[in-house]
Amino acid sequence: MATDWGEEYRSKLLSAEEAVLKIGPGRSVFLGTACGEPQSLVKALLAKSYAMIDSEVIQTLSLGLTFYADDQFRDQFRLNAFFIGPNVRSAVNEGRADYTPVNLSDIERLFASGLKPVDVAMIQVAPPDQDGYCNLGVSVDITMSAAMHADVVIAEVNPNMPRVGGDSRLHLREIDHLVENDQPLLEYVAEGDSGKVAPRIGKNVADLVPDGATIQVGYGSIPDAILAFLEDKKDLGVHTEMFSDGIIDLVEKGVITGARKGFHEGKIVASFCMGTRRLYDFIDGNEMFEMYPSSYTNDPCNISRNDRMIAINSALEVDLTGQVCTDQIGHRFYSGIGGQADFMRGAARSPGGKAIIAMPSTAQHNTVSRIVPTLTSGGGVTTTRGDVQFVVTEYGVADLRGKSIMERALALIGISHPRFRAELLMHAKSLHYVYQDQMEAGYVGVYPEQYEVVKVVADTEMYFRPAKPTDEPMLKEMFYSFSRDTVYNRFMGLKRSMPHRELQRIVNIDYDTRMTIAGFVNEEGVWSMVAFAMYDLDKESNTAEISFAVSDQWQNRRIGTLLMDMMIGIARDRKIRAFTAELLAENMRMLDLFYRTGLKVETRLVEDTYLVTIDLWAK
């Protein structure tokens, strides 16, 4: 029911300068977040700084003026940042400002308990609705929590602030002073990435996102690239700490519907947003968008209630065991914990969820690897090795789920920048993370992704690709699944074991003189190797010895023919003259495979063995 709040509203109106003079000495003052920052109140703080004495300014991320972190105002203000933005980074690292590392989901408890008291909350809201409720719009996050627990609330009333659903409203009676302002909201535009790195990361991450997934993604060139590669997905949902303009197109194209979230279905749930006027106009009155305090959106239990929750976060460094550092570069603080740990843990608990770290493989113009043997001295662990499931760079995806330290190290080296792989492998050996005889071949060669292909075999999708060193455990499992006859025909005798030194020769390859194409199937989310073909090139004769293996349950399904066709194509790309092979005389199925290529096949029987030559250029 509409209420007459006009008189109350008018009684609380002050100028910005009058309002800030209500702040007494030694008070803690919270400032609204990012694009929700109350600009006229911040400017008034500057204008009346002479009257401020020992004020603590509490904030997460600022996009506006940050004079309160300048040395000249050290007697008036001291910033305490829950998250370090670019405009206060120097102040924190030079000791002119403080940084409180904390998960965003925990900040409301700090306010409520008095462990981090808020004396004055300076916020920005939309004008009251007919019932006297003001909307926090683009910045609910910890702003709502600060307002609910502050002794005094000063609200900047701005008609440019959009109104959104969720838990985003404060009644006039909960606000002590009002300041009117008709200034456009602060806007955020991500820095563009004209290179190839962000799109390649975007594609690799998008491959991990299934239809019907609920995503959490931040802001910047890499999140925007990820969103761009989601356009062919169906019924995606959003449950995130924040969002930017990048989601608008996906909503308009019907990609984001929220129809299969399982929690807040049909709604985009967030705590704040940063973007342009286009975004603010898009969410204004849009019932699809609901904003809630960070204590709700970032609660891992709430996050896990979304089906197929995909949390996508960034990092500054990842070490070879999977530890993630996000907020420091050595001893220098860079950003903050934010909601990374909240969402990584929540996604890991979600049915079908995935916890992903996505980052470029290098920094400082390819001179520094972000994948490191150990975290840089002074660097802290933002996300533990037990909470990371996937690490993604422009060079691929490292799946760390259930992986040993050795398997993690090899997987992470495999997605590092090629110029650092040999060095990282050397460090991994010195730390005894990997076998001392681990070969470099698979890490110094250029992985030929053009040979990746999906084929349908017996109504099942089979993924064929060049082998990687990380495939060794799957190859071992495949070998020990072979029947006695398969082992006898493949290895021309009874072979009882397949040790590491032999396994790695098949999968740890240079993609030049040795090439292996392996076939994989995914059963209930678990990949297994079911077939492979390999060749070993003799450069002097320009011929390559070829061999095959197919798991028993997948034999007689023309997988050998598919592999043979792929190997012929690869060999021709490399101008190899011929394949050679040795077969037991009784292995007529393999001999028939060679003849069915239509190429010129020459055979010579020596005792019980066929010596075969296949001319790759003659029929």
Q: What is the pLDDT of residues 134-156, one digit of tens each?
A: 999 999 999 999 999 999 999 99
Tell which residue, 392, 460, 440, has the closest CA to residue 201: 392
74: left (phi > 0), else alpha (psi -120 to 50), else beta?
alpha
pLDDT digit string (tens) for 411-452?
999 999 999 999 999 999 999 999 999 999 888 878 999 999
Residue 14: phi, psi to the nearest 5?
-140, 165
Rounded CA-CA distance 245/228 in Å is 12
Same fold, 6-180 and 458-615: no
Rounded CA-CA distance 248/22 in Å is 41
State both tokens at 438.
């681990």
Q: Could you state, in order of their start, the residue ranges of all structural domains in the chain?
A: 6-180, 197-438, 458-615
Identity of residue 250: L
Long-range contacts of 44-49 (CB under 8 A, 24+ apart): 44/15, 44/16, 44/17, 44/19, 44/20, 45/20, 45/77, 47/17, 48/17, 48/20, 48/21, 49/73, 49/76, 49/77
The number of CA neighbours under 13 Å toward the Cβ of 51 is: 13
H/E stretch holding 320 reads none
pLDDT for 331: 94
Q: Which of 187-191, 198-202, 598-602 has the lowest mean pLDDT?
A: 187-191
pLDDT, mean of residues 118-136? 97
3-state secondary structure of 499: coil
Tell which residue, 110, 82, 314, 289, has the closest CA to residue 198: 314
Identity of residue 484: R
Dihedral (CA of 163, 169, 171, 174) sign: negative
Catalytic residue annotation: 241
pLDDT for 494: 86
pLDDT at 193 over 80: no
pLDDT cut 90: percent of the chain above it = 91
Class of domain 6-180: alpha beta
Rounded CA-CA distance 222/209 in Å is 15
pLDDT for 444: 82
Q: Which of 46-50, 90-94, 132-136, 199-203 has the lowest mean pLDDT?
A: 46-50
pLDDT at 201 over 90: yes
Confidence grade of residue 6 (pLDDT, cut at 50, 70, 90): confident
Domain range 458-615, its CATH number among 3.30.450.20, 3.40.50.300, 3.40.630.30, 3.40.1260.10? 3.40.630.30
Average predicted confidence (pLDDT) for the chain: 95
3-state secondary structure of 11: helix
pLDDT at 596 over 50: yes
Residue reference for tokens 């990584």 = 344
61: left (phi > 0), else alpha (psi -120 to 50), else beta?
beta
Rounded CA-CA distance 594/591 in Å is 5
pTM for this model (two decimals): 0.92
What letter does residue 236 receive in the DSSP assignment?
B
pLDDT for 1: 47
pLDDT at 194 over 60: no
pLDDT at 24 over 90: no
How far is C-alpha 20 from the geometric centre of its chain's CA atoms?
Answer: 41
pLDDT at 262 over 90: yes
CATH code for the domain defined by 197-438: 3.40.1080.20
